[in-house]
């Protein structure tokens, strides 16, 4: 399994596109963390990933998550609200694999890619990664949370 965790960089070069906010998903910046799932052709891994994430909707809600599925250029919100998104633009901006290949990305509230996986990730692993982020740690300390 390939997992790339990107948020742990010690020095962020603003000119490096790896740390630039994803333009096609700018509507979510500073409001939501976004998990984008690219379905594979047999869809078994995508279905497993969907089931894994959607089994704990309250945890998704607590972490201000939106879950999107991109399949054949179409975008469907699996959790949270999302309108008028272009699947091909998202695929291009994230440099995701071609249609028919499985991939998943986590974007932080700052709009940058925090995690890229080529196999389904458990909700426990995903939530642990999110909960280790400084912004999430600060959110848990707020009294209104």
Q: Which tokens in the block code for residue 76?
A: 């469907």
Residue 55 and residue 140: Cα distance in Å, rounded? 22
pLDDT of residue 118: 94
Task: Specify the residue for token string 């998202």.
Answer: 90
Residue-wise pLDDT for 15-31, tens only, equals 445 567 899 999 999 99
Strand partners, 71: 74
Task: Specify the residue for token string 């925090």.
Answer: 114
3-state secondary structure the chain: CCEEECCCCCCCCCCCHHHCCCHHHHHHCCCCEEEEEECECCCHHHHHHHHHHHCCHHHHHHCCEEEEEEECCEEEEEECCCCCCCHHHHHHHHCCCCCECCEEEEECCCCCEEEEECCCCCHHHHHHHHHCCHHHHHHHHCCCC
Residue-wise pLDDT for 49-91, tens only, equals 999 999 999 999 999 999 999 998 899 999 999 989 999 999 9
The residue ranking higher by pLDDT, 99 or 48, is 48
pLDDT at 100 over 80: yes
């Amino acid at each position: 399994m390939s997992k790339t965790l990107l948020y742990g960089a010690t020095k962020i070069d603003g000119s490096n596109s790896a740390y630039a906010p994803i333009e096609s998903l700018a509507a979510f910046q500073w409001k939501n963390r976004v998990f984008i799932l690219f379905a594979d052709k047999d869809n078994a891994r995508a279905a497993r990933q969907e089931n894994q994430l959607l089994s704990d909707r309250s945890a998704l809600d607590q972490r201000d998550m939106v879950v999107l599925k991109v399949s054949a250029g179409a975008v469907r919100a699996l959790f949270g609200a999302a309108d008028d998104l272009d699947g091909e633009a998202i695929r291009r901006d994230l440099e995701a694999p071609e249609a028919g290949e499985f991939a998943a990305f986590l974007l932080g509230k700052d709009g940058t890619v925090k995690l890229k996986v080529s196999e389904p990730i458990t909700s426990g692993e995903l939530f642990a990664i999110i909960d280790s982020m400084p912004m999430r740690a600060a959110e848990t300390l707020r009294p209104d949370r």
